């Protein structure tokens, strides 16, 4: 088993009247690309700042490489940060910005030159050494900020929404680069983002946070395919959620009685163990559903609900349908555009079919507040 690089043990951070991080424990392995994801104000930045040493926990312990660093100031910790605003020193040129950390460690001059050039090469900014930060584009500044951190060979690199200020195209490109660089240098990345797609494509593991707590932690596929709470299900990707009540268990399957009448089945091992109530939400991802005309008998062994086609949107690679399902719930379906069957048109009665394996059961969460939805 790989070594634990960063460990937070029951960490709480309280500001004047808000609990920013609430009794949070977390282990991050060496060399891992770990993302923290969650709505605005859920405590991502605060968590990162406690690892970096810019914020002291009110309660709890922070370990880096097995050593308790809770009381250590940032300049004594073997971590480096890429700030959201880049925070490049405006009075120094690119070379001196990158060399800043090495100069503090009194690294010999020749070695500084070599390492700075190597770092600039890594982020593909060779030849920019003499530029001032103000003379570069946002993406270039971002690369320099990355080089400035990486050149110190830290144990852990902290990145707080490093791509937040870039436009979409540059963002996509930088995501790939970041991933490439992380694999190349092999150090632990702790990455904070609002963007669920970004977190899913880049991370080895991710944590979805809310109200200063971790709602779920795991590899992106697990969290996506088997969300643990309603909040995770709706925050990470789109999902269709219906109210239901847990029913009988028969040979590995559990029946869920939908509030609207019919019932669906879920493999029992996909039902969370810590449900305190039989009132649950049952869900399925939009791309797992197929649409049929509501005729004849449904295929046995599949879950299905009937609904009314409301809206069909052509997206190019796929069709997106909005269907009014049981209990007037709006359900979303994505269908890959294979160009074969004619698309159902609005007003038609349709049957939505999916496999029990693709069904998940979550406990209901408080709905997203307006504040949280703002990106």
Shortest Cβ distance from residue 60 to ligand ATP (Å)? 15
Query: 173-176, long-range: CB within 8 Å, 24+ apart, which pairs?
Result: 173/139, 174/139, 174/142, 175/201, 175/202
Residue in 1, 73, 54, 5 with CA at minimum distance from that of residue 34: 5
45 binds Mg ion (CB under 5 A): yes
Q: Which of 26, 42, 147, 291 binds ligand ATP (CB under 6 A)?
A: 42
Picked from other proteins, Mg ion, ligand ATP, none, the partner binding residue 46 (CB below 5 to 8 A depending on kind) is: ligand ATP
Q: How many CA atoms lie within 13 A of 252 on its CB side?
A: 3
Picked from Mg ion, ligand ATP, other proteins, none, the partner binding residue 15 (CB below 5 to 8 A depending on kind) is: ligand ATP
81 binds other proteins (CB under 8 A): yes
47 binds Mg ion (CB under 5 A): no
Shortest Cβ distance from residue 264 to Mg ion (Å)? 38
Compare residues 120 and 206 and give the one whose CB is closer to other proteins: 120
Compare residues 45 and 240 and give the one whose CB is closer to Mg ion: 45
3-state class (DSSP) for residue 222? helix
| Contact residues for 180 (Cβ-Cβ < 8 A; gap 6+) | none
Stretch that binds ligand ATP, among 15-23, 67-75, 288-296, 363-371 (CB under 6 A): 15-23
Q: How many CA atoms lie within 13 A of 2 on its CB side?
A: 11
72 binds other proteins (CB under 8 A): no
Picked from ligand ATP, other proteins, Mg ion, none, the partner binding residue 140 (CB below 5 to 8 A depending on kind) is: none
Residue in 227, 341, 203, 340 with CA at minimum distance from that of residue 284: 227
Q: Tell me how many residues contact Mg ion (CB under 5 A).
A: 1
Q: Tell me how many residues contact other proteins (CB under 8 A).
A: 30
355 binds other proteins (CB under 8 A): no
Structure tokens that stand for 126 in this block? 């060779």
| Residue with the two structure tokens 């370990």 | 63
What is the β-pairing status of strands 188-193 and 240-250?
unpaired
Q: Which of residues 112-171 bind other proteins (CB under 8 A)?
A: 132, 134-138, 148-149, 152, 167
196 binds ligand ATP (CB under 6 A): no
| Contact residues for 120 (Cβ-Cβ < 8 A; gap 6+) | 94, 95, 98, 126, 127, 128, 129, 144, 147
Taking residue 362's Cβ as centre, other Cβ atoms within 10 Å add up to 24
288 binds ligand ATP (CB under 6 A): no
15 binds ligand ATP (CB under 6 A): yes
Query: How far is the CA of 156 from the CAs of 21, 80, 139, 161, 321, in angstroms?
Result: 21, 7, 22, 16, 44
Picked from other proteins, Mg ion, ligand ATP, none, the partner binding residue 54 (CB below 5 to 8 A depending on kind) is: other proteins
Shortest Cβ distance from residue 192 to Mg ion (Å)? 6
44 binds ligand ATP (CB under 6 A): yes
Interface contacts to ligand ATP, rule CB under 6 A: 15-16, 18, 20, 38, 40-46, 194
């Amino acid at each position: 088993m790989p070594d634990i690089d960063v460990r937070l043990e029951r960490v709480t951070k309280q500001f004047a009247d808000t609990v920013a991080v609430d009794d949070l424990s977390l282990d991050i392995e060496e060399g891992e690309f770990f993302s923290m994801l969650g709505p605005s104000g859920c405590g991502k930045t605060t968590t990162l700042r406690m690892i970096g040493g810019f914020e002291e926990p009110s309660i709890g312990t922070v370990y880096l490489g097995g050593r308790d660093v809770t009381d250590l100031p940032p300049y004594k910790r073997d971590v480096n940060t890429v700030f959201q605003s880049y925070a490049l020193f405006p009075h120094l040129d690119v070379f001196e910005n990158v060399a800043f950390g090495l100069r503090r460690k009194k690294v010999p001059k020749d070695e500084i030159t070599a390492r700075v050039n190597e770092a600039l090469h890594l982020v593909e900014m060779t030849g920019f050494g003499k530029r001032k930060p103000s003379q570069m584009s946002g993406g270039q500044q971002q690369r320099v900020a990355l080089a400035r951190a990486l050149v110190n060979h830290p144990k852990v690199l902290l990145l707080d929404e490093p791509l937040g200020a870039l436009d979409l195209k540059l963002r996509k490109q930088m995501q790939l680069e970041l991933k490439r660089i992380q694999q190349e240098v092999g150090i632990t990345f702790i990455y904070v983002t609002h963007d669920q797609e970004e977190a899913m494509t880049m991370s080895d593991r991710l944590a979805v946070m809310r109200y200063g707590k971790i709602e779920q932690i795991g590899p992106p596929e697990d969290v996506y395919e088997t969300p643990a709470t309603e909040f995770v299900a709706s925050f990470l990707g789109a999902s269709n959620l219906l109210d239901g009540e847990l029913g009988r268990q028969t040979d590995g399957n559990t029946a869920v009685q939908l509030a609207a009448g019919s019932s669906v089945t879920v493999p029992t091992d996909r039902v969370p163990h810590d449900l305190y109530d039989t009132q649950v939400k049952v869900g399925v991802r939009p791309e797992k559903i197929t649409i049929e005309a509501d005729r004849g008998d449904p295929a046995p062994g599949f879950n299905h609900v009937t609904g009314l086609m409301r809206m069909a949107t052509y997206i190019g690679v796929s069709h997106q349908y909005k269907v009014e399902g049981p209990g007037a719930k709006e359900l979303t379906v994505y269908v890959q555009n294979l160009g074969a069957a004619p698309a159902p048109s609005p007003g038609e009665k349709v049957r939505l079919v999916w496999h029990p394996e693709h069904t998940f059961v979550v406990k209901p969460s408080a709905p997203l507040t307006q504040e949280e939805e703002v990106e």
